[in-house]
Structure 1
Amino acid sequence: MPKNNLINNLLYFFFLGFLLTAVAAFRAYSSIAIGLIVVTSFIYNKTTTGAWFNKSLCNLYMFFCSLFFLLQIIPIAYTDNIAQSWRHIEVKSALLFIPLCFFSCRYLNKDRFHALMKPYVFMLVIILTWCLGISFIKYHYHQAPVYIFFYHELLLDLGHHAIQFSILVYAGLIFLLQEITLGRYVVNKAIHFSLLAFLIGALFLLSSKLVICFMLCSLVYYAIIEGRKNVKTRWAITAVAVAGITISSLILFTKNPISYRFNDIMHSNMHVMEQKKFEPRFYFNGVAFRLLQWRFVKEITQEHRAWVMGVTPAHAQLLLNQKYVEANMYAGRPGTPDHGYQDFNTHNEWLESFLQTGIIGLLTFFGICFSMIAMAIQQKSRTLWAIVLLVLAYSFQEAVFETQYGLVVFLFLPLFFYFGEKSAEKQ
């Protein structure tokens, strides 16, 4: 029994350490924490079941993640860029290790999930407060523009990607909303709603169009279900929902850094799909740039006859860079950190998978997504559905498997919320 308690405490400490270091962008420590969770999980399973390997390791999700990782290894046999191939293998090893954190033992359940999410939410608030403090110092004492409080600039000193960090914040937000429906509060009602308001405000400052849309839908959805359940608070909830929508409308339909990001979509030039050459100063917004990627990926796969196996992970970016040069797109300034569009990936995991590993890789990635949806259907959890739909939508606007924290938000968060809905008896 003391040995089991020690392993339980270690797993809790390692999971908590991973969550906190992921929020604080301590990448090396996050990787170490994942390794420690995997090793300790196998030991936990051995002490509780007598076997090293848990039966739940045999599932479609693990199969497709392992297959996708295998597709990163196979090109080493015939590529001429071994160093770049190993870099992809190193980053995408998370496809094996993150699922192993959850499927290799039956540790995580509702109670432990709840115990982990409380400090996670407070860590989000602490980190965001620190970022706001740094931005205020820059604005007040160094005459930085007001944009220092928004989007990537807000997280500049932290080193996080604004959209990926927004998804981490949304995970905390959806947890707080779900707790309200269960009649539970972090510390007390006042602190709980203060945390909720702070995270809502933070998501507006982070200015991710996708996450803001999910946040507004979540607020309306939870207001409706809570209003139906509790007649006494229906008018209060309706007032809060109307106030939230009104404030959001004022933010989105007036001139400010947040509305600028939404309005930018409306000025998309759809002719970029046909245009062969551009002036270096030509501005591509998010939609136009992603449309152009569809054309580039099609041209590359046709030129190299790489429909089945792709052009390999090591060569995909090099070939994209060649396309940027051929199209005369802005290439930065030599001798400076400004490289323009060079080294920009496809910003779409479906396209990136197809470009790197062909139809086989695309179907494998579809298998991962299908397995994720199957888990959400099986669990019937509001919070899990919200996270799964968000990361799936995000995969259409970012190549999520190309960065460490892209893999974290796409793999770790859905599994964390999936196992966090399980009771100890069901496990």
Structure 2
Amino acid sequence: MPIFLYALMVCSLLWTENFEDTKDGLQKEVLFFLMPFVFLGIGPLEHRQVERIFKIFSFSMMLYAVFYIQRAVFNFLATGETRFFFYHDLVSMDLSAIYMSVFASFGMFYFISREQKSKLDQTCTVVLALFIVLLSSKVLIIVNVILFVCYYIYRSKTSSSVKRFTLLTSIGFFIFSFLFIPKIQERFLHEYETAFVDNTVNMEIGDAEHMIYNLSLSQAWNDQQFESNNFLPGTALRVFQIRIFTEMLTEHDIFFTGFGFDASQERIREKVKQYNLFYGNGEFNFHNQYVQTFAEIGIFGLLILLGMICYSLKKAFTTKDFMYIVFSLTMIILFLTDSFLSRQRGIIFFLTLYCIFTTKSGIEGQRKQL
């Protein structure tokens, strides 16, 4: 399926609105074509091989977490500012707290899912859990809590008393983080307040002389005109992007073809200008992988993408492979809030795991799904 998706991206060169952007984007996405052939050449992966790959990746993420937490401590001691412990300040905007949260989450669940946990495994789990909380990605934290609870209820072979203790301790840790760590509390409460209350004042990027007002979800979806000092918080931005995409569907003949791969950004800029929003909003993509794919390569591209993740989810539950379930559910939910496949690190992570899990089985029919 990744090969078919890439073939459609290439075909979009025939109708794209921006040939150069599409051509450049195809270079970034070429792994959709190459990686399936690599895994088909390798052949079915044995369980011990997959286990080794996940082990190396997970320990590497633990080392990354230790490095960035130590760096935050050093910056805090040098400046006295706690912001270095949280979100993009912890890992830098370029690395992205969301991407690092995804990678760290997969590593954490690898250690959680091991039947025989050593002291080192338990330590790595705690370090990665702390790292994920500090990264403060709201969606990933919620998804991780749900997966963690489900694992200990349905999959863990430990005694009931140990399960209860582990669940209560872990949930207590997240509740404590929410209640007593201001930066984390602020991110959740700020999102809640701005989502449902119109025109709240944003003091982070504005001041008494230059007032900035947050737009609510209702405003982002319904208002016909905005002001240049209006700000779209995370969820409101995503609602607005979906709104303008629905408008693009009615205004342009893109249902079957899209604008061309990687060629939708100019249309977003036009919408931002039309609604009189701050021009910087025009540099954001759709922040939704399903919408991004639909807008750029049409309904058939969206159906291929949905086919890939539905196949993964079905096989994950059929094989009862917990790590496969973690991967599938995380991607399904993450694609709703981020254009994860717009960055090469997202492409590599998604395709590598998709191909690993698909070729892990020796059934030939499953390998054809590549």
Same fold (TM over 0.5): yes
1:202 corresponds to 2:131: yes
Q: Which residue type is aligned with residue 163 of structure 1?
A: I
Aligned to 1:75: 12
2:26 aligns to what?
Answer: 89
> Which structure 2 residues correspond to residues 25-424 of structure 1 after superposition, within 5 A?
64-79=1-16, 81-106=18-43, 108-143=45-80, 145-156=81-92, 159-179=94-114, 182-183=115-116, 185=117, 189-225=118-154, 229-231=157-159, 234-254=160-180, 256-267=182-193, 268=195, 269=216, 270-331=218-279, 340-420=280-360
| Aligned equivalents of 2:147, 2:248: Cα separation in 1 | 40
Shift of 1:255: 5.5
Structure 1 residues 79 and 305: CA distance shift in structure 2, 3 A: closer
Structure 2: gaps (5+ residues): 196-215
Per-residue CA distance 1:346-397 (angstroms, 9 max, x = gap): 0011111111122222222222222222332442212211110111111111
The one-letter code matched in structure 2 to 1:76 is L
With over 3 angstroms needed to count, the CA separation of the structure-2 counterparts of 1:101 and 1:261, relative to structure 1, is: farther
TM-score, normalising length from structure 1? 0.74
**How many angstroms apart in 2 are the aligned matches of 1:363 and 1:117?**
29
Distance 2:354 2:189 in 1: 31
CA deviation string 1:271-297 (max 9, x = no partner): 221112222222212211111112211
Unaligned stretches of 5+ residues in structure 1: 1-63, 332-339
Q: Aligned residues: percent identity? A: 20
Alignment partners' CA distance in 2, 1:209 and 1:300 = 29
Q: Answer yes or no: is the 8 Å Cα contact 1:110–1:422 preserved in 2.
A: no
Runs of 4+ with deviation above 4 angstroms: 417-423
Q: Is the CA contact (8 Å cut-off) linking 1:112 and 1:420 kept in structure 2?
A: no
Q: Deviations over 1:200-222 (max 9, x none)?
A: 11110111122212222233233
C-alpha distance in structure 1 between counterparts of 2:143 and 2:71, whole Å = 28
Show the counterpart of 1:50.
Answer: none
Q: RMSD between aligned alpha carbons?
A: 2.4
8 Å CA contact 2:245, 2:295 repeated in 1: yes
Distance 1:138 1:265, change over 3 A: same
**Aligned length, in residue pairs:** 343
Cα deviation, 1:381-420, whole Å, max 9, x if unaligned, reads 1221111011111111111221112212332224334545
CA contact (8 A) 2:17 2:259 kept: no
